[in-house]
Structure 1
Amino acid sequence: MKDMIVHILLAEDNDGDILLTSELIEESPYQCPLTVVKDGAAAVDYLFKKGPYKNAQVPDVIFLDINMPKRSGLEVLKAVKNDPKLMHIPTAILTTSSSTKDKMDAQKLSADFYFTKPLEVIDLEKVIKSIRK
Structure 2
Amino acid sequence: MSDSSIDPAEVLLVEDNPGDVRLTREAFDESGIRNELHVVHDGERALDFLYQRDEYEDAPTPGLVLLDLNLPNLEGKAVLREIKGTPALRQIPIIVLTSSEADEDIARSYDLHANAYLVKPVDPEEFIDLARTFEKFWLQFVELPPSNHN
Question: Partner residue of 1:116?
Answer: 119
Please give the secondary structure, in 1, of the residue aligned with 2:55. Answer: helix
Question: Partner residue of 2:92?
Answer: 89
Please give the secondary structure, in 1, of the residue aligned with 2:39. Answer: strand
CA offsets, 1:23-56, max 9 Å, x none?
1112334421010000011001110111111111
Question: Partner residue of 1:8?
Answer: 11
| Equivalent AA in structure 1 for residue 24 of structure 2 | T
Task: Return the match for 1:77 from 77, 80, 94.
Answer: 80
> Structure 2, unaligned stretches of length 5 or more?
122-126
- Aligned equivalents of 1:122, 1:19: Cα separation in 2: 18
Offset of residue 85 of structure 1: 1.1
- Aligned equivalents of 1:61, 1:77: Cα separation in 2: 12
- Aligned equivalents of 1:13, 1:54: Cα separation in 2: 21
Offset of residue 2 of structure 1: 7.4
Question: Partner residue of 1:36?
Answer: 39
- Aligned equivalents of 2:63, 2:57: Cα separation in 1: 17
Task: Return the match for 2:61 from 54, 58, 62.
Answer: 58
Please give the secondary structure, in 1, of the residue aligned with 2:61. Answer: coil
Structure 1 or 2, whichever has the larger Rg, is: 2
TM-score (norm 1): 0.92
Please give the secondary structure, in 1, of the residue aligned with 2:13. Answer: strand
Superposed CA RMSD in Å reads 1.6
- Aligned equivalents of 1:117, 1:99: Cα separation in 2: 13
Task: Return the match for 2:28 from 25, 28, 34.
Answer: 25
- Runs of 4+, deviation exceeding 4 Å: none
Question: Partner residue of 2:124?
Answer: none
Offset of residue 58 of structure 1: 0.3
Q: Percent identity?
A: 33
Q: Which has the higher contact order (CA 8 A, sep 6+)?
A: 2
**Which deviates the most, 27-36 or 11-20?**
27-36
CA shift in 2, pair 1:72/1:2, >3 Å: farther
**Which deviates the most, 15-24 or 123-132?**
123-132
